[in-house]
Amino acid sequence: MEPVEVAVWVAHSLFSGVWTGSVLFLVVAVLPLARNGTLNAAPLESLVGSVKTISRVSSVALLLTGGHMAATRYTSESLFETESGWLVLTMVSFWFLLMATVEIGGAKLTDGAERDKVREPAAAARPFLLAASLCAVALLVTAGLISARNLGYF
């Protein structure tokens, strides 16, 4: 594998890990504190702003690195007619869903925090952020399946 390919693969993996990790942290550690009122509005707004920034930067980085990897590994036929291609398309679907659910859930939390509210916005954001966490896990599982397939395990 060429050094550029290795660098793209590593960057893609790092941004995936940071993005999914930040979303899972928000859902597992921050959201429960907001729902029970333990967390104040200012820290919540700051944390959500950070996760939204990570989400936006990571989604662009993954678009660029994933697009490069797909362009060098797949043709349009192999993308739509092989199991590996279908896994890539599945990953892209989870990428879109993760991006959308983080934006919607984050907006609900931020809007409430701007009004100095915490519990109500956390309850409103919860379904979207739970969906985001499921998408994050599904994205990583799909990435693992693609890697296993590329290594010849199935």
pLDDT digits (tens, 9 = 90+) for 22-62: 999 999 999 999 999 999 999 999 999 999 999 999 999 99
Predicted confidence (pLDDT) at residue 16 exceeds the cutoff of 90: yes
Contact present, 47 and 28 (Cβ < 8 Å)? no
Give the CA angle between residues 11, 15, 19 to the nearest 5°.
Answer: 175
Give the chain's end-to-end CA distance (angstroms, integer): 21
Residue whose tokens read 């879109």: 96
The residues, any chain, with a CB within 8 Å of residue 72's CB and separated by 6 or more, are: 5
pLDDT attached to residue 121: 95
- What single-letter DSSP state applies at residue 38? -
| pLDDT tens readout for residues 57-90 | 999 999 999 999 999 988 889 999 999 899 999 9
Classified as helix, coil or strand, 36 is: coil
Domain extents in the chain: 3-150
- Measured N-to-C along each axis, helices 119-150 and 3-25 cross at an angle, to the nearest 10 degrees, of 150
